[in-house]
Each structure stands twice: as structure tokens, then as C-alpha cells.
Chains A and B, each alone.
Chain A
């Protein structure tokens, strides 16, 4: 430790430990999709650990169609001025220019998200090139490790956004966590084969085999609509939840948001879950997966 005139010389910003560290701090919390400052205020008042800014909630993207893009910077700044919790924002897959704009706005996390219309059908953003951390969706372990190799500091299971249907989130979580469990008992030749089959870097596959966990926190997204849904995915092994349309497409957004926050902390306490699940009005209507025109989870490579 020496006396240096400029703090930049001794402070290392944008390190992986710092990027992943914010994800660690969000564990056990609820990150809520919001489209404007008014929704962000409701989310913070309900106990959200962070908000995610996007142009339209996934249910509306499904209903209205068209190209879904990054939010208007004015809306993001309005959200940042309104709340004290971290503000995340979504960029299109591969759209590094949107990500650069979001970084310049000093958003706290960028979600390179399949919920928006992809900008590149072969390449994801080089997330190592940014000081701001990234979260990416994944449906299986190979996809998660590919995103981590590109620099993602948090993974969320994709689920099927905008459906209010938890079945896909459960499928993706079980796939990721089930394969991790199998990997921990693989021998060395099997780890090479796992890397080949997962289409993921050998070093990351070997690390997962050794530690029994992803190198970054694993959160759950896509289809959470009730306190019970949050409890289910946390008991399966997710470390926090993203809730999109499930809150602002329900009858009582503030009450439901608060109940999901309570459920996320007390996810192992069925009596408390019963208490907070009472009298919330109707949840978002939701959709069967087989009836969907577009499967958002299929986006990303």
C-alpha cells in the first residue's frame, strides 16, 4: 500500500470478482421487470432487490409482436432517479451497441436477453469488453457455460417469459442442476466427453465437476406468477428470482410483488407461504406452452 495521487491507480474496477459480487448480493431476492419509473417505485416499495428496465413486459411483447428493443434511455434515467436499488436493463442478443449505450447510462447489470428480438443469429456480445456485469439466460448447462465463457457474471434459467407458466423454468433448472450433479461423479475421460457434448470449454466443465456448482450465481426467470412458484424454483436450487409479467399483469401488482418477496425469503416455510398467498386477487392469466407462436427460450446459441 503506497501513497498514490490518483485513486484509479489502486482501485481495480470491473473485475470479475466485483461483477459476480453484485450477483451474490442479490441472492435470496426478487428482481422485477418494470417499464417506467412508476412501476419501479411499486417494485422498490414492495422490497425488490433490483429492477429490470425493458420496453414492454414479455406478455405484451407476445401479444403485440414487432421488434422488441432496448428501453428508451429517458425511461431508464427516470427509473434510476426514482429508486435507490440497482437498475438493470435488457439489450438484444448480440447487440453490443445497445449494451454500450446501457453501460454509458451506468446501469448496474445488463441482461443480454432472448426476450428482446435478437440482433445477431450467430454471436453473443463479448461481455469481457465491459466494466458493467452481464446476466444471460440459459436452458441447459452447455448454454450457461458458453455464456460464462463470454463473460456473463450471472446466469438465469430462461423459462418461457410472458406466459405465467412455470413449467419451462422448472425444465431448465432441472436440466442445469441435474447435469451439474451428474458431472460431479464423472471421471476424467468422461469430463472430456461432457465438454464435447455440452459444447462448452473444457476448463469450465472441469471446474463445475470439481465444485458442484456454476462459477457464477444461478437465478430463475420466465413464468413466475405466484409466491408458490418462487418457492418451487428456490427449493429446486435457484438462488434468486426474476419476475416479469407476473407482477404487473396481475390484479394487484403491489400486493403480489410484496407476497413474492416474502415467499422468496421464507421459501421453506409452507405456513408462511399460505399466509402471503391469501387474497392476492387473480394472477396473470397465463398460457399453455403448446399454444405459443414463438418460443423465446429457443433464441440464443
Chain B
């Protein structure tokens, strides 16, 4: 099985290593022809404004939008979550995401790099907590009916969603590829 990693900018190599650890081949996606024959897709972390501009200039917007509309398995981490979100606030005014995941995200919602952090992510249906690494991370501020919350940051009595799924689309605000926790890549492959 071949899983694509959108390789326009960002931490592509970490995702490739995670995919190899779960036993599938990774392929870098830079032009539309690269999408042919892949079974699932990873949208990595990086700068969402840059990645979206490169999606347009590399003629990838139409094929990626079609891919998501067809319900093909896709995992987006951090910037990848921004790309999948139906609604984005605090982005550039001309930033248009791919959409598909019924959430509103606030770009850099936790603040600048000084406020980047590590914290445990509670994901009871997936087993133990994730070591959540949040880097200028997007914040999920609204979740539509039909989108399931799989993981949260627990604080006092409140639980803030940071890992969501709708159909075959998985999005998380943190970086499992940096903490080398392969459960989401495994889940992605399982959705094929």
C-alpha cells in the first residue's frame, strides 16, 4: 500500500518515517500525477499559508478537493488540520482551506511560539494518552454534529477537543509524528 504525504512544505520526513513504521510505503506528493495509485493521504505540519499557496500554484487544489469529497482516508496534523477545517479564523484574509472536516479552527489559537507546549492528550477510545506536542497550534473552537471528538486536552472540568474525525478524515492540532506515536497513522491505514 502506498500512502501519499503532501510534500510542498513542512515536516514531511517525520510522516514518511511514521508510515514506514506502520508498514506502508510513503510517496511525496508535489504535483497532481503523484496522487495516482495512493490509498491514503497525509497533510503534514508546516505553514498553512505557504502550503495553500503552493497547492494552488502546483494545480493540486481541484484533485485534493475531489479526493476529500470522495471520502478518501486523510490525516491532517497541525497545518494539515487547518487545511481540512471547514472554517478558519485568524488566517490570512485570502486563505481558503480545502475543507471537509466539520470544525472551526483558530490559527495559532494558543499564541506565538513562546506559548507552544507539550501536554497529555486524553483519547480514551484509542488507549493511553498521547504525548501532545503543540507548536503554534491551531485551536478547535467549534465542532459540528457528525464530527467526532477522539482526543482532548483536559483542564479542570473542561475538555478542549484537539483530535477529531469525520468519516475518513482525521485531524489533530498536535504532532504525533514528532512524539513518534504511530496510532493515528495506523488508524489512517485502517480506514483504507
Complex Cα–Cα for A158 and B32 (A) = 36
Which residues of the partner chain A approach B178 to less than 8 Å between Cβ atoms?
17, 21, 24
Complex Cα–Cα for A266 and B57 (A) = 11
Query: Which of A28, A50, A266 has the most C-beta atoms of chain B within 10 angstroms of its own C-beta?
Result: A28
Verify if A47 is at the interface (C-beta below 8 Å from B). Answer: yes
User: Measured between C-beta atoms, what is the minimum distance from B89 to chain A in Å?
Assistant: 11
A29-64 contacts to B, CB under 8 A, are 29, 44, 47-50
Asked if residues A18 and B119 are in contact (CB atoms below 8 Å), the reply is no
Q: Can you list, as one digit per residue, whether each of B125-151 has a CB less than 8 Å from chain A (1) or not (0)? A: 000010001111000000000000000
Stretch at the interface among B35-43, B44-52, B66-74: B44-52
Q: Report the count of interface residues on A (CB-CB < 8 A).
A: 43
User: Measured between C-beta atoms, what is the minimum distance from B150 to chain A in Å?
Assistant: 15
Assess A86 versus B155: contact at CB under 8 Å? Given A29-B50, A262-B57.
no
Asked if residues B115 and A27 are in contact (CB atoms below 8 Å), the reply is no
Stretch at the interface among B9-17, B19-27, B163-171: B9-17
Q: Can you list, as one digit per residue, whether each of A263-290 has a CB less than 8 Å from chain B (1) or not (0)? A: 0111001000000000000000000000
Which residues of the partner chain A approach B116 to less than 8 Å between Cβ atoms?
13, 18, 21-22
Which residues of the partner chain A approach B111 to less than 8 Å between Cβ atoms?
106
Complex Cα–Cα for A4 and B157 (A) = 9
Verify if B91 is at the interface (C-beta below 8 Å from A). Answer: yes
Complex Cα–Cα for A265 and B44 (A) = 14
Chain B interface (Cβ < 8 Å from any Cβ of A): 7-14, 30, 45-47, 49-50, 53-54, 57-58, 78-79, 90-92, 107-108, 111-120, 122, 129, 133-136, 154-157, 175, 178-179
What would 25 A/B residue contacts be, using CB atoms closer than 8 Å? Answer: A4-B156, A13-B116, A18-B133, A18-B134, A18-B135, A21-B116, A21-B175, A22-B136, A24-B14, A24-B45, A25-B46, A25-B78, A26-B47, A28-B9, A29-B9, A47-B49, A49-B50, A84-B107, A86-B113, A86-B136, A106-B113, A107-B112, A108-B114, A262-B57, A265-B8
Chain A interface (Cβ < 8 Å from any Cβ of B): 1, 3-5, 7, 10-15, 17-18, 21-22, 24-29, 44, 47-50, 84-86, 103, 106-109, 131-133, 261-262, 264-266, 269
